[in-house]
Amino acid sequence: MTSTKSIAAGTGGARVELRAVSKSYGDTSVLHSISLDIPAGAFVSFLGPSGSGKTTTLNLIAGFLKPDCGDILFDGLSVADTPPNYRDIGMVFQSYALFPHLTVCENVAFPLRMRTRMSKVAIRQRVAETLELVQMSAFGTRHPRQLSGGQQQRVAMARALVSNPRLLLMDEPLGALDKQLRDQMQFEIKRIHRRVGSTFIYVTHDQSEALTMSDYVVLMNKGEVAQAGTPSELYVEPAHAFVADFIGDSNILTGSVLSVSEDVASVSLRMGVTLTVPRRNVPVSVGQEIAISLRPEDIRLRQPAHAQQGETVRGRVIELGYLGDSYKLCVAISADTLRVKVPASMAAGVSVGGDVELSWNKDAPRLLRV
Amino acid sequence: MSPVSVFIYRTRLLPAILLGPCLLWIAFFFLIPLITMTWRSLSEGGFSVAAYHEVLTSPQYLKVALNTAQVLTLVTIATLILGYPIAYILTMTSGWIRALILILVSIPYWVDVIVRSFSWLILLGDNGIINKTMLTLGIIDHPSSLLYNRTSVLLGITQILLPMMIITLYGAMIRIDRSLLRAATIHGASDLRAFWHVFFPLSLPGVYGACLLTFVLGLGFYVTPALLGSPRETMITQTIMIEATENLNYEHTSAASIMLLVVTMAIVMVYNRYFGLDRLWGGGKT
Amino acid sequence: MKLSWERIALTLAAVAVLSYLLFPVITVIALSFSSANYLAFPPPGWSLQWYRQMLGDPEWLNAFWVTIRVGVLASVIATLLGVPAAFALTRFVFPGRSLLNALILSALVTPPIVSAIATYLMFVQIGFINSIVGLACAHAVAGIPFVVINTAASLSSADHDLERAAIIHGASPLSAVCRITLPIIAPGVLVGFILSFVHSTHELLIATFILGGVGKPISVKMWAQVQSTTDPSVTAVSTVLIGVAVLTVLTVSSARILANRRAN
């Protein structure tokens, strides 16, 4: 591995593999034997609640932590013995970590000065190009404390990208920004990813952010990978209850299996209704306690006066929330509550305390592994 | 890859390498001298504790020790009473007022102890301002001897230790969560009661720490009692110093020093057990 | 700011205590310009005689020079030893850390007479008596806690991610510390250096034992003078020292303000 690096446009990203990586702090195990295969040039999110191990995984890939066992490979070569400064990584930190005593230009030029032997002129040009990429060209001579949060975030990205690293790590970079700026920056980051082509690994606890931005999502929980796949795989085919609950909003209904056939299973729900649910290859046996996920937006409203079709459940509205484009309802059905989300146009005449009938497509409920 | 980088990446010894020189220095220039002194203290007439015995039974040392303890207790109380309001004001103000008061409090701290003690000679002397004022006002008809007694020593030591007390108290007070006070006033407490029931109890660990520090620093006082006091006001450091420089009795002085050190460490350890030493060092914010 | 009796009482108390603290300092400065040969305040007349006497006495000038050399040497040693130690104590967790922390700080709580006699007894064995280097070495021990405390405070309040950001983008650990961390903590280190220097200039007991003879520093000479004469000659030296102290405080305050700005 050389310490000089030439900057070629679009060198492409690195394929990042983790093989059975574990990490503990003293007696506490933080990661249990994680294995991942991230394709070159992909945009991957590490998603999960706090304590799930996503930031630890990021720090292991960066080299700030060393795994207790297992291996980490970039493009098929182990980086276990490579110090972080030689891994050819760019990183955006949660606190941006811009060097306060340097100007924006000097901040962005830093990786070039450290990693390459480019001339001052070449460095200046590359810095200018990168600042243009993040639309911060006018701020070159300012100091970080003179910039707003969103501006600092862009400069941090520029610094991470300037030397065309094969891997870009981002640790909850948008956490400190307000919603509007966050939404805007999400698209910015995607645009930059398409332009640059490196592998992006993005840590977040915000599942909608992960779904919007990523090619692949790795959902982690308690030091393990709960599910890894494309955003739609995680949303439409959650592997088990945790995934269904974390991704999007979901009603988790519990019940016991009454009968099983090849395609469907009949489940008696605790809330007093029997459902026939597509099996989708989930192994079930009669009498088994099982969970079913049902997304609020898959449930439709019908006032009791209208004619009934298909499977319906009757309940009473106990909460009603207005979201502008839709309504969120809490409907009580015997002892249970179902959350329902309907477009505003479909919710005419609904009020708290009123009765409603709920229905959904046969395919909407999903059997979950527990 | 540079071997240095790889070495730093692989090694667990980095803290040891960083601390090593410092600890070696302290071991050589601090611990070894202490060991040398301990050895000397046990060398009176062969290997014995005779020196300790003589010091402990010497009426002179006992008298001085008693005087030291009394003076320092009074000094600690005085600095606490005078210093607490200032520290409180510092905590409650902000901006330029706080900065100004901090500077004013700090300036004496950086003036020599000799100078500050000396200035009391000027104030309290026969031609000093207090005597002159009283003469002019006709309260007395000849200068009264205000110096060379316990009061002048107290005034001097208190003044010298006061900045340290203020800054230590301030360091502890500044960490008290102000929203607790606001919570108290919102729920009906007057300013005074909020102070007494909320602020004051929370400041107590800081108070203990500051008192400890003041007392321990007071044990080292030499110049002030020598300059401002009579032989009755001799404090422990003076006695040891005189015996070392005039009588050249290093066995006695070593023994006395060791005992002084033990007393100091005992006080510090007792405090640490109950309150933890890190509260003393205000430094930055935790 | 409401004007309650509590605030008035507090303000009066503050004025009183601050006067108690500062008045002696002011008296000394005033007396250094006194024309009298005895300690009279207010002075009967003004003159520069004491300054002339001080500047004309080679012993005083030599003493100043000795004090500066000892102070600078001691503080440089304390800084070179203390800054890495501060890194070790704030950035790493290892067994025995609090014990080592206590050891480093113990120099501050040790009674000076203990250090003085102990140092003397040992220095006699190794021939470090009457040596400027010797006194500096002893003073460095007391300077180390000042450097460690202030550097550690700067380090803990600085953003930890800054060093990591430098390293991940290609800087070696040493390079990251030198280019990024040190400039940011420099004001804290400077404060520690200055505190160590000032402490060394005031120190009397160790100096008496180690360097009490021909090449004595200011503190020893001042003490001798104060005990032998009753005239205000010492006040001239004192005023110079007070000037140094005021400069110190101003520098330290500015350094602290600079440190806060840099860390943000």
State the pairing for strand pair A326-333/A312-322.
antiparallel
- Same domain? For A169 and A314 the reply is no
Residue-level pLDDT at C112: 92
What is the 8-class DSSP label of residue A307? P
Confidence of residue C23 (pLDDT cuts 50, 70, 90): confident
Does the structure show a pLDDT above 80 at C43?
Answer: no
Residue-level pLDDT at B277: 58
- Same domain? For A178 and A91 the reply is yes
Percent of chain B surpassing pLDDT 90: 28
Task: Read off the pLDDT of residues A24-51 as tens digits, 9 standing for 90 and up.
Answer: 988 888 999 999 999 999 999 999 998 8
Percent of chain A surpassing pLDDT 70: 94
Distance of CA C82 to the CA centre of its chain: 15
- Same domain? For B33 and B61 the reply is no
Residue C228 forms part of a structural domain: yes
- Same domain? For A161 and A35 the reply is yes
Residue C144 forms part of a structural domain: yes
Q: Interface partners of C (3+ CB pairs, < 8 Å)?
A: A, B
Q: Which residues contact B27 (CB under 8 A, 6 or more apart)?
A: none
Chain C interface, mutation test: which of B24, B25, B29, most C Cβ atoms within 10 Å?
B29
SS3 assignment, position B124: helix
Residue C237 forms part of a structural domain: yes
Task: Read off the pLDDT of residues B56-92 as tens digits, 9 standing for 90 and up.
Answer: 888 888 999 999 999 999 999 999 999 999 999 898 8
Does the structure show a pLDDT above 80 at B140?
Answer: no
Residue C77 forms part of a structural domain: yes
3-state helix, strand, coil in chain A (%, to 5): 25, 35, 40
Does the structure show a pLDDT above 90 at A348?
Answer: no
- Same domain? For A186 and A293 the reply is no
Could you list the residue range(s) of the whole structural domain that residue C65 is in? 51-263
Q: What gap in Å lies between CA A130 and CA A7, rounded to an integer? A: 12
Residue B285 forms part of a structural domain: no
- Same domain? For A148 and A173 the reply is yes
Across the interface, whether the CB atoms of B219 and C27 are under 8 A apart is answered no
C167 interaction partners in chain A (CB closer than 8 Å) = 83-85
Residue-level pLDDT at A352: 86
- Same domain? For A133 and A235 the reply is yes
Kind and range of the H or E run holding A21: strand A16-25
- Same domain? For B62 and B105 the reply is yes
Does the structure show a pLDDT above 60 at A313?
Answer: yes
* Matching residue, tokens 């340290």: B164
| Higher pLDDT pick, A218 / B102 | A218
State the pairing for strand pair A43-47/A199-204.
parallel
B16 interaction partners in chain C (CB closer than 8 Å) = 88
Q: For residues A330-347, give the mean pLDDT.
A: 85
Asked if A82 has any chain B CB less than 8 Å from its own CB, the reply is yes
CATH of the domain at C96: 1.10.3720.10
Residue-level pLDDT at C135: 94
Strand partners, A171: A203
> Which tokens go with C28?
């000394």
Chain B interface, mutation test: which of C3, C27, C117, most B Cβ atoms within 10 Å?
C117
Residue C25 forms part of a structural domain: no
What total of structural domains would you count in chain B?
Answer: 2
B105 interaction partners in chain C (CB closer than 8 Å) = 18, 21
Cβ pairs bridging A and B (under 8 Å): 17
Alpha carbon of A67: minimum distance to chain C alpha carbons (Å): 17
CATH of the domain at A295: 2.40.50.100
A101 → closest Cβ in C171, C172, C262: C262
End residue of a domain, out of A208, A241, A274: A241
Task: Read off the pLDDT of residues A151-199 as tens digits, 9 standing for 90 and up.
Answer: 999 999 999 999 999 999 999 999 888 888 899 899 999 999 999 999 9
Residue-level pLDDT at A9: 43
Q: What is the pTM of this model?
A: 0.83
Contacts of A220-223 spanning 24+ positions with Cβ under 8 A: A220/A46, A220/A47, A220/A48, A220/A52, A220/A53, A220/A54, A220/A57, A221/A48, A221/A49, A221/A52, A221/A246, A222/A51, A222/A52, A222/A53, A223/A29, A223/A30, A223/A31, A223/A32, A223/A34, A223/A52, A223/A53
Q: Which residues contact B77 (CB under 8 A, 6 or more apart)?
A: none
Task: Read off the pLDDT of residues B115-138 as tens digits, 9 standing for 90 and up.
Answer: 888 888 878 877 777 777 777 787
Percent of chain A surpassing pLDDT 90: 46
B163 interaction partners in chain C (CB closer than 8 Å) = 21
- Same domain? For B220 and B126 the reply is yes
- Same domain? For B72 and B99 the reply is yes
- Same domain? For B27 and B142 the reply is no
Could you list the residue range(s) of the whole structural domain that residue B152 is in? 51-279
Alpha carbon of B117: minimum distance to chain C alpha carbons (Å): 9
DSSP string, C73-127: HHHHHHHHHHHHHHHHHHH---TTHHHHHHHHHHHHHS-HHHHHHHHHHHHHHHT
Name which of B280, B249, B264, B274 is nearest B167 in CA terms: B280
Residue A264 forms part of a structural domain: yes
Residue A7 forms part of a structural domain: no
Q: What gap in Å lies between CA A294 and CA A313, rounded to an integer? A: 13
List the 168-187 stretch of B: residues with Cβ below 8 A of A. Answer: none
Task: Read off the pLDDT of residues A195-213 as tens digits, 9 standing for 90 and up.
Answer: 999 999 999 999 889 999 9
Across the interface, whether the CB atoms of A90 and C169 are under 8 A apart is answered yes
Task: Read off the pLDDT of residues B89-115 as tens digits, 9 standing for 90 and up.
Answer: 898 888 888 888 888 888 787 778 888
Does the structure show a pLDDT above 60 at A10?
Answer: no
Residue C4 forms part of a structural domain: no
Could you list the residue range(s) of the whole structural domain that residue A179 is in? 16-241
Residue-level pLDDT at A112: 94
> Which tokens go with C135?
């006194």
State the pairing for strand pair A43-47/A216-221.
parallel
Confidence of residue A7 (pLDDT cuts 50, 70, 90): very low
Kind and range of the H or E run holding B38: helix B32-41
User: Closest residue of B to A63, CA-based?
Assistant: B9
Average pLDDT, chain A: 87
User: Closest residue of C to B122, CA-based?
Assistant: C39
Q: For residues B170-184, give the mean pLDDT.
A: 85
- Same domain? For B66 and B146 the reply is yes
Task: Read off the pLDDT of residues A265-293 as tens digits, 9 standing for 90 and up.
Answer: 888 888 778 888 888 777 788 888 888 88
Does the structure show a pLDDT above 70 at B10?
Answer: yes
Asked if A83 has any chain B CB less than 8 Å from its own CB, the reply is yes
Q: What gap in Å lies between CA A255 and CA A367, rounded to an integer? A: 11
Does the structure show a pLDDT above 50 at A5?
Answer: no
Residue A73 forms part of a structural domain: yes
Residue B286 forms part of a structural domain: no
DSSP string, B225-252: HHHHS-GGG--HHHHHHHHHHTS--HHH
> Which tokens go with B172?
């502890």
The helices-and-strands tally (H runs, E runs) of chain A is 8, 20
- Same domain? For B98 and B34 the reply is no
Residue-level pLDDT at C158: 84
Task: Read off the pLDDT of residues A237-260 as tens digits, 9 standing for 90 and up.
Answer: 888 888 888 888 888 888 888 888
Q: Interface partners of B (3+ CB pairs, < 8 Å)?
A: A, C
Average pLDDT, chain C: 86
Alpha carbon of B16: minimum distance to chain A alpha carbons (Å): 19
- Same domain? For A159 and A38 the reply is yes
- Same domain? For B22 and B138 the reply is no
Residue-level pLDDT at C2: 57
A89 → closest Cβ in C161, C168, C175: C168
Percent of chain C surpassing pLDDT 90: 36
The one-letter amino acid at A76: G
Q: For residues C78-88, give the mean pLDDT.
A: 95
Residue C41 forms part of a structural domain: no
End residue of a domain, out of A241, A273, A296: A241
- Same domain? For B74 and B34 the reply is no
A81 interaction partners in chain B (CB closer than 8 Å) = 6, 9-10
User: Closest residue of C to B241, CA-based?
Assistant: C113
Does the structure show a pLDDT above 60 at A310?
Answer: no
Residue A117 forms part of a structural domain: yes
Average pLDDT, chain B: 85
Residue A101 forms part of a structural domain: yes
Residue-level pLDDT at B286: 29
Confidence of residue C98 (pLDDT cuts 50, 70, 90): confident
- Same domain? For A92 and A47 the reply is yes
Residue B163 forms part of a structural domain: yes
Residue A203 forms part of a structural domain: yes
> Which tokens go with B218?
């007071």
Residue C205 forms part of a structural domain: yes
Establish how many alpha carbons lie within 13 A of residue A186's alpha carbon, considering only the half-sphere containing its beta carbon.
Answer: 20
Across the interface, whether the CB atoms of B129 and C41 are under 8 A apart is answered yes
3-state helix, strand, coil in chain B (%, to 5): 80, 0, 20
Torsion (CA) B23, B24, B30, B34 in degrees, nearest 10: 110
The one-letter amino acid at A231: P
C4 interaction partners in chain B (CB closer than 8 Å) = 191
Residue A5 forms part of a structural domain: no
- Same domain? For B130 and B55 the reply is yes
What total of structural domains would you count in chain C?
Answer: 1
Across the interface, whether the CB atoms of B105 and C111 are under 8 A apart is answered no
- Same domain? For B67 and B181 the reply is yes
End residue of a domain, out of A190, A212, A241: A241
Residue A2 forms part of a structural domain: no
Residue-level pLDDT at A302: 73
Across the interface, whether the CB atoms of C161 and A94 are under 8 A apart is answered yes
DSSP string, B173-200: HTTS-HHHHHHHHHTT--HHHHIIIIIH
Distance of CA B198 to the CA centre of its chain: 28
Ranked by mean pLDDT, the top range of A25-39, B174-188, C240-254 is A25-39
Residue-level pLDDT at A224: 92
Q: Which residues contact B258 (CB under 8 A, 6 or more apart)?
A: B37, B38, B41, B52, C114
CATH of the domain at B154: 1.10.3720.10
Across the interface, whether the CB atoms of B8 and A86 are under 8 A apart is answered no
Q: For residues C177-204, give the mean pLDDT.
A: 90
C87 → closest Cβ in B5, B9, B18: B18
- Same domain? For A237 and A255 the reply is no
CATH of the domain at A34: 3.40.50.300
Does the structure show a pLDDT above 80 at C4?
Answer: no
Residue-level pLDDT at A3: 32
- Same domain? For A55 and A192 the reply is yes
Q: For residues B5-16, give the mean pLDDT.
A: 82
> Which tokens go with C127?
């021939």
- Same domain? For B9 and B141 the reply is no
- Same domain? For A266 and A309 the reply is yes
Residue B212 near residue B268, CB atoms below 8 Å: yes
Q: Which residues contact C78 (CB under 8 A, 6 or more apart)?
A: C140, C143, C144, C146, C147, C192, C193, C196
